[in-house]
Amino acid sequence: MKKYTYIFTALALGIAVSCATNPFSGKKTMALVPDSEILPSAFAQYSTFLTENKVVSGTTNAKLVESVGIKIKNAAERYLNANGYQGYLKDYRWEYKLIDSKEVNAWCMPGGKIVVYSGILPVTKTEAGLATVMGHEVAHALANHGQQRMSGSMLQQLGAVGAQVLVGEQSETTQALAMQAYGAGSNVLGMLPFSRSHETEADEIGLTLMAIAGYNPEESVAFWGRMSANSGGGAPPEFMSTHPSDQTRMSNLQRLIPQAKKEAAKFGVTFK
């Protein structure tokens, strides 16, 4: 047992010193995997993804994705530089690609590698709708959510080891039930709320970025209304989901719009 105590103490000390600062909230976040490992891996995965999927280039929509992406990137740089985070994006290698796919989705890997699927464009509908999506996805990268999810997964695995140690002398049936309970509990009470909090934070940051980029943040609520209609109400209960419900999301955005406009006004961007 003493051996495990040493292991857990060492890991706990590692966690305590392995932190990053969220430049938008100022809060410390877990960073058990450094950017020096995450970014090269993300860049390599992105390159592989592009070779395995149909990239749309030269079209009006492809140019729009790149144009909106650049505006969001510039907004992020303006915000970070103005708030004392000069150089925060020095290791980013921005790319904005439109992929021919019916999937209604978009994502941004750590380091600014963005993909928008053509299937989401009928839902974004407007340039501001696309800015809502791209601002949200870029926000995940800027707030190091990928790094935090990796760190959270490592902690979940550590907890599993601890649970196994605690019941190690029990019967095989008891051990199996205990591990099943730990797996379900750590997901519902830990990882899923963790993920939902990331989505909510990305909405808030994305709202600020789109506003600084010149897009009216009120358009975000209209976009999520269209997303809700497109999904047909087939989402699982919120507590079992990695994302907040559409209604929760739209209510949060409505509440945050005045603050996003206030931030944009600091950069000379105002809305009627």
Whether pTM exceeds 0.85: no
Per-residue pLDDT band for 186 (boundaries 50, 70, 90) equals very low
Least confident span in 120-129, 148-157, 173-182, 259-268:
173-182
Is the pLDDT assigned to residue 189 strictly greater than 60?
no
CA distance 234 to 270: 37
Mean pLDDT for 46-67 is: 97
pLDDT value of residue 245: 79
Residue 114 or residue 149, greater confidence:
114
- Is 137 designated active site? yes
Per-residue pLDDT band for 33 (boundaries 50, 70, 90) equals low
What is the secondary structure of 199-241 as a DSSP string?
A: HHHHHHHHHHHHHHTT--TTHHHHHHHHHHHHHTT-PPPGGGS
Kindly calculate the radius of gyration of the chain based on its CA atoms and give it in whole angstroms. 21
Residues above pLDDT 90, as percent of the chain = 50
CA distance 33 to 19: 10
* 8 Å CB contact between 88 and 24: no
What is the secondary structure of the chain as a DSSP string?
A: -HHHHHHHHHHHHHHHH-EEE-TTT--EEE-SS-HHHHHHHHHHHHHHHHHHS-EE-SSHHHHHHHHHHHHHHHHHHHHHHHTT-TTTTTT---EEEEE--S---EEEETTTEEEEEGGGHHHH-SHHHHHHHHHHHHHHHHTTHHHHHHHHHHHHHHHHHHHHHHTTTS-HHHHHHHHHHHHHHHIIIIIHHHHHHHHHHHHHHHHHHHHHTT--TTHHHHHHHHHHHHHTT-PPPGGGSSS--HHHHHHHHHHHHHHHHHHHHTTT----
Residue 181 or residue 111, greater confidence:
111
pLDDT tens digits, one per residue of 72-82? 999 999 999 99
pLDDT value of residue 94: 96
Per-residue pLDDT band for 236 (boundaries 50, 70, 90) equals very low
The owner of tokens 């510039």 is 74
Least confident span in 168-172, 229-233, 266-270:
168-172
**Which one of the listed residues 95, 137, 219, 263 is annotated catalytic?**
137
Mean pLDDT for 108-125 is: 94
pLDDT value of residue 234: 53
Is the pLDDT assigned to residue 16 strictly greater than 60?
no
